[in-house]
Amino acid sequence: MANIAAQRIKREFKEVIKSEEVAKCAIKVELVNDSFTELKGEIAGPPDTPYEGGNFVLEIKVPETYPFNPPKVRFITKIWHPNISSVTGAICLDILKDQWAAAMTLRTVLLSLQALLSAAEPDDPQDAVVAKQYKEQPEMFRQTAKHWTSVYAGGPAKMSDLDDKIRRLTDMGIEEHNARVALSSYNWDLERATEQLFMTVMAKN
Amino acid sequence: MSFLFNLLKGAFLRMLQLIWFGKRKISNSLSIYVKTNTGNTLSIDLDPKWDIRNLKEIVGPQLGISPEDIKIIFAGKELHNSTIIEECDLGQQSILHAIKLPPGKNRLNRKKDTKNLIEESIDEGSEANESGSKPLNETLIDLPLEDSDRHENHSEQEQQQARAHFYVYCSLPCKSVEAGKLRVRCATCGSGAVTVDRDPQCWPDVQQPRRITVHCENHDCQTLLSSLAQKDEGTPQVRYAQFYFKCANHVSLGEKDEAVPLYLIKPNLRNVPCLACTDTRDTVLVFPCEAGHVTCLDCFRDYCVARLRDRQFEFDDNHGYYTLPCPAGCQNSHISEVHHFRLLSPEQYEQYQRFGTEEYVLRAGGLLCPRPDCGMGIIPPDQTDEERSRSPDEDDCRRIQCIGGCGYVFCRRCLQGFHVGECDSQQPTTYSSTSAVSCLSGYAIDPLRASEAKWDEASKKTIQISTKPCPKCRTPTERDGGCMHMVCTRAGCSFQWCWVCQTEWTRDCMGSHWFG
Ligand SMILES: [Zn+2]
Ligand SMILES: [Zn+2]
Ligand SMILES: [Zn+2]
Ligand SMILES: [Zn+2]
Ligand SMILES: [Zn+2]
Ligand SMILES: [Zn+2]
Ligand SMILES: [Zn+2]
Ligand SMILES: [Zn+2]
């Protein structure tokens, strides 16, 4: 890794650690290796959102050309959000692409991602299924996102009705996460989710 | 009587000089030329510790002029008697101008500012009415890029700290970025025997004509000016300064020896930390954006290399330069003096020039030879509309030869070897141009790596598997996972496309195969 990238990341790392957001437990970074090429980020779900109470872990890869090119960031924690892939955690935020500027830092990236959790941009969806639900059935979306937060990000909400539906599917031998994805994608319609799951299984065989 | 005395003193000094050089070669002796306004040139060896008075005492007798009747001009300033030679920023083989003052005029001070008067009266009260000033390099302060940022009323101390430092690109013989020296000549006759009426205070003062007037000592200048005025009524009757730069690293090769000023490189007087590495370095590059963002020179190089690797230099549409903007993404921040890219290594600069030429060719409607080691820019002969409509698909129109390059004959459409009939449906692979990123983890092909990759079957295969061309400009794009949303990063293309469909990125793509 280029010296400049490592040096800059070291400083930014310190900057984040000392920031007031860290003091308030809103964001966090940790080193993954000694060479500063990979970091683990963490952001707290913002209050008054379905993500409240959850902790979201991010994978941050620093390219050799940093800070002239953006870091590569994705969600490790599974999340239900129109701008984040529920499958891979990929994010298509403009500042992580063509709107990146060398003056931005790890801290600004983490804060922007936190802001994205507060205000989704459904017109620039990265997960079309989630985006459709977000626009057409906002309450359903909120419930689903809250449910994902509680299951994957340690959120407080327990939603027994949703858990029951998942159990119905796992009892049939479906893997739990697959069951959750199918139900979430079909607005928790057990019948359609089941149908879709078994179609896929059949197609695979 | 005093003349005789001076003659003797001059002879003595010269003898001293001879003994000096004979005994122990003074390592820091300075060989300079003294040019007179009567057409003589003397070659003089100086001790840099001498002052201008000593110089006059040596030059005077050789010219048959009393030393008091001489004024010495260098870099637009008449030098004061008490000025020490080494303060003058003189290099080996520099040219000083010795002007014989008209009789009776030698004690009349022309345009002298009060500050100098005061200094002189303190320094040497006995010679309070002597003319001359400090050399330009001592008085010149760091030049701001804009007229509006002029320095006002600097204290002596501030001036000392803010003293101008210049950096130049020396094309010959150094071929590198070096410290530079500001010099001035008469814009009318080209003579260096001029004194400026004021110091330049900003870059426009130096770069634009007709901003600072000079007094020219060249006898022929008046004749020249009158003849110009006769030809063109609009010719101004005043003379203007023409500033230029010399490389401080090599011995002056005469009056025509110039270097390109790299005016964005500055001493870091305000201790601004580098935008990229956050270090505070002595020498920085200040981008021409409103904020004046600063990077250290190492980071500037890294920035250029990162952008070069992805072919992300841009054409500045206002001027046609192949260049870069401020890395903080500021508006109107393109570097317009492209010699700044000379900070790159010679190989990188060559690559920069090659890419620039290629982009120029592409913009002019041309194409690049697809041979990996060639990449020659080719502008195909113009097809008339009639020809095009008559035979849009005719083989002849698709047949392109790399003239001036490797001679390869290829098909314009598929960029494979020329063939008759339909193109092979397989995607073309070109190595000659590069780049585009998937929004998360695609990356551009490193052109160096690509050109190093030999045209053997193995590398051809691996590259074909992981690259696809931009549907619009055919720039090959590599993808290493992540999403299917590709954005072509070739400057001027920015086409958003889908890795799966290989067409423009659409909502359908997002919905059905955004993640593969
Ligand atoms: Zn030089
Ligand atoms: Zn002149
Ligand atoms: Zn730096
Ligand atoms: Zn800027
Ligand atoms: Zn060729
Ligand atoms: Zn073809
Ligand atoms: Zn393109
Ligand atoms: Zn598609």
Centre of ligand 1 to C-alpha B256, Å, is 13
Which of A92, A111, A157, A159 is catalytic? The answer is: A92
Q: What is the pLDDT of residues A112-144, one digit of tens each?
A: 999 999 988 777 777 788 888 998 999 999 999
Task: Check CB contact under 8 Å for A103 and B328.
Answer: yes
Which contiguous run of DSSP H or E holds residue A17? helix A3-18
For residue B253, CA distances in Å to A109, B92, B111, B117, B190 come to 54, 9, 32, 36, 16
Query: Can you read off the two tokens belonging to residue B432?
Result: 């000659």
Nearest to A100 by CA among A131, A127, A73: A73
- Total number of residues shown for chain A: 205
Rounded to 5°, angle at Cα A67 from A62 and A73: 35
Give the model's pLDDT for residue A153. Answer: 95
Query: Model pTM?
Result: 0.69
* Selected residue with higher pLDDT from A37 and B427: A37
Task: Check CB contact under 8 Å for A96 and B306.
Answer: no
Rounded to the nearest angstrom, the minimum Cα separation between A126 and chain B is 7
B275 shares contact with chain A (CB less than 8 Å): yes
Give the model's pLDDT for residue B132. Answer: 78
The contacts found for B43-51 with CB under 8 angstroms, 24 or more apart, are: B45/B17, B45/B21, B46/B85, B47/B17, B47/B20, B47/B85, B48/B84, B48/B85, B48/B86, B48/B90, B49/B84, B49/B85, B49/B86, B50/B84, B50/B85, B51/B81, B51/B82, B51/B83, B51/B84, B51/B85
Give the model's pLDDT for residue A80. Answer: 95
Centre of ligand 3 to C-alpha B325, Å, is 16
Nearest to B275 among A74, A102, A127 (CB): A102
Give residue B121's Cα distance to chain centre. Answer: 41
Give the model's pLDDT for residue A202. Answer: 64
In CATH, the architecture of B467-513 is Single Sheet (2.20)
Query: What gap in Å lies between CA A113 and CA B464, rounded to an integer?
Result: 35
Burial, A99: exposed, middle or buried (Cβ in 10 Å; 0-12, 13-18, 19+)?
Answer: exposed
CATH topology for the B30-101 domain = Ubiquitin-like (UB roll) (3.10.20)
Q: Which chain A positions have a beta carbon within 8 Å of B438's beta carbon?
A: none
Centre of ligand 7 to C-alpha B491, Å, is 8
Rounded to the nearest angstrom, the minimum Cα separation between A160 and chain B is 30
- What is the interface pTM, i.e. ipTM, of the complex? 0.73
B306 shares contact with chain A (CB less than 8 Å): yes
Centre of ligand 2 to C-alpha B341, Å, is 35
Nearest to A4 among B276, B328, B485 (CB): B276
Within a 10 A sphere around the Cβ of B404, how many other Cβ atoms?
A: 10
Give the model's pLDDT for residue A4. Answer: 79
Strand B496-498 relative to strand B442-443, pairing: unpaired
Query: What gap in Å lies between CA A109 and CA A112, rounded to an integer?
Result: 5
Angle between helices A138-152 and A176-185 (to 10 degrees): 170
Query: What gap in Å lies between CA B408 and CA B411, rounded to an integer?
Result: 10
Residue A139 falls in which region: left (phi positive, over 0), alpha (psi -120 to 50) or beta:
alpha
| Mean per-residue pLDDT, A33-37 | 85
Strand B30-36 relative to strand B70-74, pairing: unpaired
Cα nearest neighbour of A126 on chain B: B510
* A124-A126-A128-A133 Cα dihedral, nearest 10 degrees: -80
Domain boundary assignment for chain A: 3-118, 128-204
Q: What is the pLDDT along chain B (516 residues), one digit of tens a residue?
A: 566 666 666 666 666 565 554 444 445 688 889 998 878 888 988 888 889 999 999 888 888 888 888 999 999 999 999 989 888 888 888 889 999 887 665 444 444 444 444 443 334 434 444 677 888 887 787 788 777 665 555 566 665 666 778 999 998 899 888 999 999 999 999 999 999 999 998 888 998 999 999 999 988 888 888 888 777 777 677 899 999 999 999 988 887 889 999 999 988 888 999 988 888 998 999 999 988 999 999 999 999 999 988 788 888 777 778 999 999 888 889 999 999 999 999 999 998 988 888 788 877 778 878 776 677 778 777 655 555 555 555 666 778 888 877 888 888 877 778 888 777 655 444 433 333 333 333 333 333 333 333 233 333 334 344 667 778 777 767 665 556 778 777 666 778 888 888 888 887 777 677 655
Task: Check CB contact under 8 Å for B507 and A91.
Answer: no
Within a 10 A sphere around the Cβ of B410, how many other Cβ atoms?
A: 23
Interface test with A, best of B272, B274, B275, B277 (most A CBs within 10 A): B277
Q: Are the beta carbons of A179 and A186 closer than 8 angstroms? A: no
Give the model's pLDDT for residue B387. Answer: 54
Q: What is the pLDDT of residues B334-347, one digit of tens each?
A: 999 999 999 999 99
Nearest to B111 by CA among B83, B87, B142, B76: B76
Using CB atoms and an 8 Å cut-off, which of residues 98-127 of chain A contact chain B?
A: 98-103, 125-127
> A–B: how many Cβ contacts below 8 A?
81
CATH superfamily of A3-118: Ubiquitin Conjugating Enzyme (3.10.110.10)
Domain boundary assignment for chain B: 30-101, 158-225+237-266, 271-382+395-411, 467-513
Task: Check CB contact under 8 Å for A92 and B485.
Answer: yes
Q: What is the pLDDT of residues B207-254, one digit of tens each?
A: 899 999 999 998 888 888 888 877 777 767 789 999 999 999 998 888
Query: What gap in Å lies between CA A127 and CA B480, rounded to an integer?
Result: 20
Q: Which chain A positions have a beta carbon within 8 Å of B327's beta carbon?
A: 67-68, 101-103
Query: What gap in Å lies between CA A150 and CA A144, rounded to an integer?
Result: 10
Q: What is the pLDDT of residues B131-149, one digit of tens each?
A: 778 888 877 877 887 776 6
Helices marked H in B171-325 — which ranges? 203-207, 219-231, 297-309
Q: Is the model's pLDDT at A8 over the cut of 80?
A: yes
Query: What gap in Å lies between CA B258 and CA B189, rounded to an integer?
Result: 17
Centre of ligand 5 to C-alpha B412, Å, is 13
A85 shares contact with chain B (CB less than 8 Å): yes
Give the model's pLDDT for residue B104. Answer: 60
Give the model's pLDDT for residue B232. Answer: 76
Task: Check CB contact under 8 Å for B440 and A96.
Answer: yes
Rounded to the nearest angstrom, the minimum Cα separation between B473 and chain A is 18
Q: What is the pLDDT of residues A166-205, one digit of tens each?
A: 999 999 989 999 999 999 999 999 999 998 888 776 665 5
Query: Can you read off the two tokens belonging to residue A139?
Result: 């309450």
Strand-pairing partners, residue B78, are B73
